[in-house]
Amino acid sequence: MPRSPVGREIDRVDGRLKVTGAAEYSGDYRAPERAADLAHAHLVTSTIARGTITRIDTAAALASPGVLRVYAAPEPIERLALYGVTGQAAGFTEPYIPLQTAAVRFYGQAIAMVVAETPEQARDAAALVTATYAAQPPRTSIADEPHVPAGPTISGSPSSLDILAPGVESIDAALAASDVVVEAEFHQNVQHHVGMEPHAVLAVWEEPDRVTIYAGAQIPAAYALGMAQRLGLLPQNVRLITKYVGGGFGARVVLWSDTPLAAAAARELGRPVRLVLTREQMFTLTGHRSHLTQTVRLGASRRGVLNAVSHRSIAERPSTMSFTMTPAHSTSDALYRTPNLHVDAQLAVLDIPGSRAMRGPNEAPGSFALETAMDELAIATGVDPVELRLRNHATTHPVSGLPWSSKHLEECYRVGAERFGWSARSSRPRSRVDGQWLYGTGMATAIYPAARRTGFAVRVQLRNDDTAVVSTGTSDLGTGATTMVAISGADALGIPLARVTPEIGDTYLPPGAPAVGSSGTHATVPLVVDAARNVIAELKRLAVTRDGSPWQGAAAEDLRYERGILHGGGRSMTFGRLLTAIGSRGVDMESSPGGDPIPGVIHHSFGAHFCEVRVNRFTGETRVTRFTTVADVGRVINAKAARSQLVGGVIFGIGHALLEENHLELRTGRLANSTLADYLVPVNADVPDIDVVMLDEPDPRLTGPLGDGSEDVGTRSLGARGLGEIGTVGSAAAIGNAVFNATGVRLRDVPITPDKLIEHL
């Protein structure tokens, strides 16, 4: 009898293909039928941040060996035939048509494209293209440029809001009336997603009005829709294949300029075109996390009970693609109980490359500020940091007043503190020294919304060889989504994992959940459950109606499906044998519509981080030595992939706290650290063993009814909330708090680097 794979340590179904290099990522895909025809494109980028292109000299590039075309601004290039994007897809498409005007909006914008027979010829010819500009001084300072209100958050709530207790006039009054006040300002520079796989696209036109695109995309449907509009095609005539993706983190949410350009060139040339961005180009052409300033003020009683929380921020609004950065969202407006709350997010319009959500888009920076301030409050009140958080534990959501669908945060603190040995800690800063190293510990809370998204579908097919195919057009960014689809299919059908083939990453499949907002799993699993239910019902219907079936003429209600076998009237048969008997190769059904969020509750995932660092007392390097994370993320579908996600999230936090920043040159608008030598991400040596615990408490109130609601899929939906981002939320603060405990130095500007620390050591 097969054991359900749910919750076990399951290897990725595509693991072997990936580690052996057999998995074909977008840039590897060879388009076998048209391989001989394949042409290669390379982009040329601007070297000013604001102004107009006066002239582009393409003569040398055109004369270069193997060059087929050079497309260059400033003249609108009609033969590229690119159009505007409106409506639903516009929010996920870079809002200007590339190479169609002389305007330069940021340093590193695409201003020309060379297409040649080989990638090297294209790259070398691109280096011969020269541009002259009429430059204007760029707007680069979030401090100095005018501020505008950010507008609604991603979940649609206001980014600026006040909740005041009866009789309290303002947040300032609430703060003034508090016994203890902590006020702190935080800065962080531009950060980047830095997926391992460079952005790559292959465009293959099958017919003059029909194209297949191979590219990494987090929201395949929106990507394909945006492409259709950019290219002036019917939506159904763009097929996007996004089977293997080497990291998204938000950078592949948007249809940037590279994919439309490659597809337009392929159309004009009548040949397949591949375009691979260089690592340097990825820093300016595929988004970043906005740099920002945050101010947090906490007012509390002497016992540390919060009376007022104020969280304000100023971030970028790039003049092109802009992510609305609202760092108090789902952090200060959700985490703790407080009678008085003020959050506010402002943006400054800058001539800087487009920004995009990056893993824990608001929550990672927001929690760094809030959770650092909470640590400062713990110091100011003398209350232990864990105890302080327990004293301010919220049982209902502070803004909406709604209860949570499921919340086990207190348990996260308890389990984490015990595993980590928190009680052995000295709260006195700089009290543990071992040779050259100062040791310290810190902790922080993690929270991430689990907003359920609907409108997607899954198809389950039962085949006459007793295997099943589970299909949905979601994408697997490397998270293990493909494996999650297989696991939930095997569980829902009660058959061994090896007999389930997952099929994802293709917009010709039923529309899949976007791989964003840690929502892929919790949006997909209930649909798999429902599609399995539907296909089993269909199987029963065939069993009682079709010739060749032993049950022909019986009542479907009298049949029972269990673990791949139909039972009834004293007979049993696997679905494969039944299908064979009735002469069918397979039967498939899609999931039903519905599954809307359950009203009256709010969904978040929670966690607690505990960390130990050592800081060199001479030279100020911070090294993370221990890390424990306890996560309350609902049911765990695949323990192995889930742990990887949480570990990866914490590593993002290490980068955030200690390493990652791209310096914007205020004078030129150039992002100065746009190489992997100058933009530091953690390497293995920076990462200790990370101890991850998942409480594995299924969320009982995650999904509303699907279809006719005749069966409660809600409770059968496994209660998995998703966990791609929560490891990143709060982990940087835990590290910063540990640095304070080790050294007595409080740094509110990340990354925490030796140059900043030594001043105080």
Q: List, by residue number, the catalytic residues.
A: 725
If one asks whether residue 163 binds another protein (CB under 8 A), the answer comes out as no
* Distance from C-alpha of 472 to C-alpha of 460, rounded to nearest angstrom: 9
Q: Judged by CB under 8 A, which stretch of 34-42, 197-205, 340-348, 668-676 contacts another protein?
A: 668-676
Sheet holding 51-57, edge to edge: 103-104, 51-57, 130-135
Candidate list 35, 36, 234, 685; residue touching another protein; CB under 8 A: 685
Nearer to another protein, 107 or 214 (CB): 107
* Distance from C-alpha of 437 to C-alpha of 447, rounded to nearest angstrom: 32
If one asks whether residue 512 binds another protein (CB under 8 A), the answer comes out as no
Q: Which amino acid is at 42?
A: H
Candidate list 616, 640, 707, 749; residue touching another protein; CB under 8 A: 616
Q: Judged by CB under 8 A, which stretch of 213-221, 370-378, 420-428, 615-623 contacts another protein?
A: 615-623
Smallest separation, CB 668 to another protein (Å): 8
φ/ψ bin of 115: left (φ > 0), alpha (ψ from -120 to 50), beta (otherwise): beta
Q: Judged by CB under 8 A, which stretch of 249-257, 567-575, 684-692, 736-744 contacts another protein?
A: 684-692
Nearer to another protein, 123 or 187 (CB): 123
Q: How far is CA 694 from CA 218, 252, 360, 479, 524, in A?
A: 26, 28, 19, 17, 20
Q: Where are the alpha helices (DSSP H) in 632-704?
A: 639-658
Q: Judged by CB under 8 A, which stretch of 81-89, 198-206, 677-685, 694-702 contacts another protein?
A: 677-685
If one asks whether residue 675 binds another protein (CB under 8 A), the answer comes out as yes
Report the candidate in 630, 597, 601 with the shortest Cα–Cα distance to residue 406. Answer: 601
Nearer to another protein, 186 or 283 (CB): 283
Nearer to another protein, 169 or 759 (CB): 759
List of residues 6+ apart from 11 with CB closer than 8 A: 483, 640
Smallest separation, CB 329 to another protein (Å): 30
**Residue 542 · residue 583 · CB < 8 Å:** no
**Residue 308 · residue 282 · CB < 8 Å:** no
Smallest separation, CB 45 to another protein (Å): 8
**φ, ψ at 385 (rounded to 5°):** -55, -35
If one asks whether residue 686 binds another protein (CB under 8 A), the answer comes out as yes
If one asks whether residue 227 binds another protein (CB under 8 A), the answer comes out as no
Smallest separation, CB 284 to another protein (Å): 12
* Distance from C-alpha of 330 to C-alpha of 449, rounded to nearest angstrom: 7
Nearer to another protein, 485 or 659 (CB): 659
Q: Judged by CB under 8 A, which stretch of 9-17, 197-205, 555-563, 749-757 contacts another protein?
A: 749-757
Nearer to another protein, 394 or 672 (CB): 672
Smallest separation, CB 19 to another protein (Å): 18
Q: Where are the alpha helices (DSSP H) in 289-440?
A: 363-381, 385-391, 409-420
The span from the first CA to the last CA of the chain, in angstroms, equals 63
Nearer to another protein, 163 or 680 (CB): 680
* Distance from C-alpha of 488 to C-alpha of 528, rounded to nearest angstrom: 7
Q: Judged by CB under 8 A, which stretch of 231-239, 300-308, 565-573, 663-671 contacts another protein?
A: 663-671
Query: Where does residue 329 rank: exposed (0-12), middle (13-18), buried (19+ CB within 10 A)?
Result: buried
Smallest separation, CB 25 to another protein (Å): 22
Report the candidate in 248, 255, 140 with the shortest Cα–Cα distance to residue 190. Answer: 140
Report the candidate in 682, 357, 365 with the shortest Cα–Cα distance to residue 515. Answer: 357
**Residue 751 · residue 679 · CB < 8 Å:** no
Nearer to another protein, 57 or 621 (CB): 621
If one asks whether residue 663 binds another protein (CB under 8 A), the answer comes out as yes
If one asks whether residue 677 binds another protein (CB under 8 A), the answer comes out as yes
If one asks whether residue 192 binds another protein (CB under 8 A), the answer comes out as no
Q: Which residues sit opposite 707 in a β-bridge?
A: none
Smallest separation, CB 624 to another protein (Å): 10
If one asks whether residue 758 binds another protein (CB under 8 A), the answer comes out as yes
Neighbours of 653 (CB within 10 A): 33
Smallest separation, CB 754 to another protein (Å): 6
Q: Which amino acid is at 2?
A: P
The two beta strands, 180-188 and 749-750, are parallel
If one asks whether residue 418 binds another protein (CB under 8 A), the answer comes out as no
Nearer to another protein, 479 or 674 (CB): 674
Candidate list 59, 76, 569, 618; residue touching another protein; CB under 8 A: 618
Candidate list 132, 400, 436, 715; residue touching another protein; CB under 8 A: 436
| DSSP secondary structure string for all residues of 142-182 | TTTSPEEE--S-TTS--SSEEE--TT---HHHHHHTSSEEE
Smallest separation, CB 156 to another protein (Å): 38
Smallest separation, CB 684 to another protein (Å): 8
Lookup: tokens for 188: 């962080």
If one asks whether residue 21 binds another protein (CB under 8 A), the answer comes out as no
Site pattern 37..66 for another protein (x: CB under 8 A)? ----------x-------------------
The owner of tokens 């306890």 is 630
Nearer to another protein, 111 or 495 (CB): 111
Q: Which amino acid is at 651?
A: I
Candidate list 38, 104, 379, 659; residue touching another protein; CB under 8 A: 659
Give the number of residues in contact with another protein, rule: CB under 8 A: 38
Q: Judged by CB under 8 A, which stretch of 357-365, 407-415, 645-653, 659-667 contacts another protein?
A: 659-667
Lookup: tokens for 647: 């570990």
If one asks whether residue 434 binds another protein (CB under 8 A), the answer comes out as no
If one asks whether residue 612 binds another protein (CB under 8 A), the answer comes out as no
φ/ψ bin of 156: left (φ > 0), alpha (ψ from -120 to 50), beta (otherwise): left
If one asks whether residue 751 binds another protein (CB under 8 A), the answer comes out as yes
Site pattern 89..128 for another protein (x: CB under 8 A)? -------------------------------x--xx--x-
Collapsing DSSP to helix, strand or coil, 312 comes out as strand
The owner of tokens 């980068």 is 655
* Distance from C-alpha of 151 to C-alpha of 210, rounded to nearest angstrom: 38
Nearer to another protein, 160 or 753 (CB): 753
Quote the crossing angle between the two packed helices 639-658 and 731-743, to the nearest 10°: 50
Nearer to another protein, 18 or 756 (CB): 756
List of residues 6+ apart from 60 with CB closer than 8 A: 125, 128, 129
Smallest separation, CB 761 to another protein (Å): 8
Handedness of CA 754, 755, 756, 759 (dihedral sign): positive
Residue 5: cis peptide before it, omega within 30 degrees of 0: no
Lookup: tokens for 236: 């159904």
**Contacting positions for another protein (CB under 8 A):** 47, 120, 123-124, 127, 435-436, 616, 618-621, 623, 658-659, 663, 665, 667-668, 670, 672-673, 675, 677-678, 680, 682-686, 751, 753-756, 758-759
